Amino acid sequence: MRTLVLLLVAASARFGLAQGMPDLTPYVPALQQNVHEELKAIAANDCTLQPSDHCVDGPGLRKLLRFSVLVLNRGDADLFLGEPTVDDPRFVFSQCHNHFHFDTFARYELRPRGGTTPIKLGQKRSFCIEDLRADPDAPFARSCSGDADCDGHGKCANGTCQYNCTYQGIQPGRGDIYESNLDCQWIDTTDVAPGEYDLWVFVNTAGLLPDSDPTNDTAMIPVTVGPAADAPVPTVKVRVKKKAKVGRPLKIGWKAKLVGGVSNVSGYDVFLARDGINFTELLGTVLDGKKLKWTVAGAASDHAAVKVVAWTKALQHGSGTSRPLRIVP
């Protein structure tokens, strides 16, 4: 706590509070502009699955609600963070990304329409807080100079920044934007029931940044989570041998049917249940084709089974399960 107090005192001196303070606020039109759902294949070793990020609930094809977030400084003083270090409690180092994250710059919540309790959280961590955009409603920002990073990631004011912005900050009249195409700029809606929801964005969630008006630190837009009620569900028939040997290849094939044509299928996840019930082991994701060769690994089983999940371009999914599979040493 003593370290945090000293940091805030130092920041206050840098801000010159007698002259003013930053005022952080999310810009609603940017949130509305790019919100959409899409499928993304997540590899088992992807950074988004690491504990320091944990932006998705599992590997394979995930349905993601993507959106852009623009956070503006509408105050009359610079927001200044300085250089991230291991001693600064505001920052967390990501081994996977090899840079620091500001852990509480923003939080995303998906709530039932009109509700107050979130059913899903987004896990976006800020990388480099910088003034990338002018305020669309009041473009009065000074020219890029001083401590704020105006040129983008890796081009800080002192010219030495590579992975970490040495001087992070946002000038008055400018904002930091995280575009919808960035990793973790989403909420994982794979297991969310279709329907109408509210997407909430909160900034400066732990109050660690000087902010003259905390009442404008939130934004909300209504969103629809798919698939649509009339989206056809694919049916899948899985083909696999009755017995497989550890260390040997196993060929897994399947056929998929869908009203409107198989061409509407975007990809397949192939899972294994060694007990024939709990399909928690992802063997692979296939985006083009209807077969997978897997080198059998792990424990033997007399009651294993394979499940193939087919995802359509309409964000609908259906699955099929193989006959019992015996895995022998």
List pLDDT tens digits, range 9-47: 344 433 333 368 999 999 999 999 999 999 999 999 998
Q: What's the pLDDT at 147? A: 41
**Do residues 282 and 306 lie in contact, with contact meaning Cβ atoms separated by under 8 Å?**
no
pLDDT in tens, 207-260: 999 999 999 999 999 999 999 999 999 999 999 999 999 999 999 999 999 887
pLDDT band at 3 (very low <50, low <70, confident <90, very high): very low
At residue 75, does pLDDT exceed 80? yes
At residue 4, does pLDDT exceed 50? no
Written as one letter, the residue type at 126 is: S
Strands 325-328 and 243-245: what pairing? parallel
Q: What's the pLDDT at 220? A: 98
pLDDT in tens, 268-288: 999 999 999 999 999 999 999
Q: Are residues 272 and 311 in the same domain?
A: yes
Identify the residue with better confidence: 243 or 94: 243
Give CA–CA dist 326/278, Å, rounded: 15
Residue 230 lies in a domain: no
The burial class, CB within 10 Å (0-12 / 13-18 / 19+), for 183 is middle
Q: What's the pLDDT at 25? A: 97
The pair of three-digit structure tokens given for residue 230, joined into one six-digit string: 């009339």
Give CA–CA dist 242/253, Å, rounded: 13
DSSP letters, 132-164, are -EE-TT---PPPS-TTS--S-TT--TTS--SSS
Residue 289 lies in a domain: yes
Identify the residue with better confidence: 309 or 172: 309
Distance of CA 210 to the CA centre of its chain: 26
pLDDT band at 130 (very low <50, low <70, confident <90, very high): confident
Q: What is the CATH number of the domain that holds 295?
A: 2.60.40.10
The pair of three-digit structure tokens given for residue 252, joined into one six-digit string: 């897994």
Q: Are residues 37 and 185 in the same domain?
A: yes
Q: Are residues 174 and 106 in the same domain?
A: yes
β-pair partners for 202:
107, 218
Decide which of 198, 225, 252 is a domain's last residue. 225
**Do residues 130 and 82 lie in contact, with contact meaning Cβ atoms separated by under 8 Å?**
no
Q: Are residues 220 and 248 in the same domain?
A: no
Q: Are residues 94 and 165 in the same domain?
A: yes
Q: Are residues 166 and 220 in the same domain?
A: yes
| Measured distance between the N- and C-terminal CA atoms of the chain, rounded to whole angstroms | 56
Residue 69 lies in a domain: yes
Decide which of 190, 225, 260 is a domain's last residue. 225
Q: Are residues 244 and 140 in the same domain?
A: no
Written as one letter, the residue type at 265 is: V
The pair of three-digit structure tokens given for residue 35, joined into one six-digit string: 């919100």
Residue 15 lies in a domain: yes
Residue closest to 31 by CA, chosen among 177, 225, 211: 177
Per residue, what are the HEC states of 200-235?
EEEECCCCCCCCCCHHHCEEEEEEEECCCCCCCCCE
Average pLDDT over residues 114-139: 84
Neighbours of 80 (CB within 10 A): 21
Q: Are residues 115 and 213 in the same domain?
A: yes
The pair of three-digit structure tokens given for residue 214, joined into one six-digit string: 């905390």
Decide which of 201, 225, 249 is a domain's last residue. 225
Q: What's the pLDDT at 50? A: 82
pLDDT in tens, 169-186: 888 888 889 999 999 999
Q: Are residues 150 and 199 in the same domain?
A: yes
Q: What's the pLDDT at 140? A: 57
Question: How many structural domains comprise the chain?
Answer: 2
Q: Are residues 265 and 324 in the same domain?
A: yes
pLDDT band at 6 (very low <50, low <70, confident <90, very high): very low
pLDDT band at 166 (very low <50, low <70, confident <90, very high): low
Helix (H) or strand (E) holding 29: helix 28-33
Q: Are residues 265 and 180 in the same domain?
A: no
Sign of CA dihedral 276, 282, 284, 287: positive
> For residue 280, what are the domain limits?
235-328
**Do residues 290 and 254 lie in contact, with contact meaning Cβ atoms separated by under 8 Å?**
yes
Identify the residue whose tokens are 């107090």: 5
